[in-house]
Amino acid sequence: MRDSAKVILLICDGLGDRPTSGGKTPLQAAATPNMDAVSESGISGLMDVIAPGIVPGSDTAHLALFGYDPYDFYPGRGVFEALGADMELQEGDVAFRANLATVDANMRIIDRRAGRKGSKELADVIDGLEIDGVRIYVKNTTEHRCAVVMKGDNLSNRVSDVDTHEAGGAVPECKPRVDGEAERRTAYVVNELVRRSYELLNRHPVNEDRRNKGELPANILLLRGAGSYRRIPSLTERFGLSAACIAGASLYKGVAKYIGMSVKEVEGATGRADTNLTSKAEAALDALRTNDLVFVHVKATDNMGHDGDFEGKREMIARIDRELVSVLKDVDAYIAITADHSTPVSIKRHSSDPVPIVIKGEGVRRDDVKRFDELSAASGGMCRIRGMDLMPILSDFIGCYMMYGT
């Protein structure tokens, strides 16, 4: 820990939007006196998190925001899921996201998300399996969601998903995405694992119990998002600062661990609309005592964008303002508020529309912007930056700057 200025980086997932109801975005429509106060005393701008016109995923976006070029550093989603689930990863391990799902006897997918109680027990049955010399670890995270880690020689993340992304189809085969021995071997192990999961789960007591209650059995494990773990230089190594993560959703904890942040477990932080923002604010303040940078993540704004829920998104933003920004804005630290991408309620998906960003703190060039929103920020003193610019900019404010030349 360095004895100097510190920074809180608040990322509201999918916050950016397009004008919808009454010509306003949810952020424009929301009551945000605290964010507006930050804007009034700070410097605003727009940010293309990856590049103009490129639609970011949440995973690649966060790498960019932390100064890691996603085109160089993206390991594949599974790595973040496994790290977020507190699983151990070593160089060469391949990790996946996985769903407990329901198939019929003909291996047709009835329900991609067979969640509810007992998922942990089912995952445990598969955990520890060995196929062709590859040791397989399975961990249930929330509801139907699991993370899978494969440990063995000669594995690759260049294999296709075992997931149709919609119900009704047959369980697809995992295939190599490039022709290579590691890819063929990995695809074989994945297919064998899927097949064995059905054998192990279909008649499992948890599922017999579900059937007795008229519920669908969670009788197969579907894998997707293969990622290949490698150790990369940490935030501390690259920027000379210590950092902590306050997040509910496991993906963001996974990204944080991947780049060497410490991850704080926060009671009531769920990654959903029911998340406890007061607990997160307290945890952030606590983490700030021993870290140079505290990354606070709120997921629910993105969920509401995906649901097309304008009112829900507007209210969630107002709640972030009321319960989180109100507390964080007056701390003796820099505060930066932004998003990882836009998720417009009108199109219910991520979009490339740039996100607003504001930075407040000692010495920033205060501009005339008085509102924190997508349009107001465009006339701010920061003009338009990229996600990859953010960490170097924040680092300089807190004295961990990167100088080139003399």
Buried b (16+ CB within 10 A) or exposed e, 116-138: eebbeebbeebbebebeebebbb
Query: For the window 283-322, what string marks contact with a copy of itself as x by the rule CB under 8 A?
Result: ----------------------------------------
Q: Which is nearer to a copy of itself, 165 or 203 (CB)?
A: 165
Judged by CB under 8 A, the residue of 197, 350, 358, 360 near a copy of itself is 350
> Under rule CB under 8 A, which residues in 254-273 are in contact with a copy of itself?
none
Judged by beta carbon, residue 46 or residue 287, the one nearer a copy of itself is: 46
Among 110, 200, 232, 378, indicate the residue that binds a copy of itself (CB under 8 A): 378
The answer to whether the CB of 245 falls within 8 A of the CB of 253 is yes
Binders of a copy of itself among residues 20 to 39 (CB under 8 A) are 20, 23, 25
What's the CA gap between 243 and 297, in Å, rounded? 13
393 binds a copy of itself (CB under 8 A): yes
The C-alpha angle with vertex 26 and arms to 20 and 31, in degrees rounded to 5, equals 135
Segment lying near a copy of itself (by CB under 8 A), choices 112-120, 162-170, 266-274, 351-359: 351-359
Residue 144 half-sphere exposure, CB side, CA atoms within 13 Å? 18
Please identify, using beta-carbon distances, which residue of 323 and 340 lies nearer to a copy of itself.
340
**Binding pattern to a copy of itself, positions 182-221, x when CB under 8 A?**
----------------------------------------
Q: Say which residue the tokens 């820099």 belong to.
A: 334
**374 belongs to the binding site for a copy of itself (CB under 8 A):** yes
User: Nearest distance from residue 51's CB to a copy of itself, in Å?
Assistant: 7
CA neighbor of 320 nearest in space, from 373, 289, 269, 278: 278
Of 86-94, 166-174, 273-281, 363-371, which segment contacts a copy of itself by CB under 8 A? Answer: 363-371
Q: If you search the block for the tokens 């059995």, which residue do you land on?
A: 217
Nearest approach in angstroms of CB 387 to a copy of itself is 11
Q: Rounded to whole angstroms, how far apart are CA atoms 345 and 358?
A: 22
Could you give the CA distance from residue 224 to residue 95 in angstroms, rounded to a whole number?
Answer: 9
Distance between first and last Cα of the chain? 26
Question: Is position 163 an interface residue for a copy of itself (rule: CB under 8 A)?
Answer: no
CA distances from 226 to 47, 175, 220, 282 (A): 29, 12, 18, 35
Distance CA 29, CA 34 (A): 14
Using CB under 8 A, count the residues that bind a copy of itself: 60
Residues forming contacts to a copy of itself in the complex (CB under 8 A) are 18-20, 23, 25, 46, 50-61, 70-71, 74, 77, 225, 344, 346-347, 350-353, 363-367, 374-375, 378-386, 389-396, 401-406
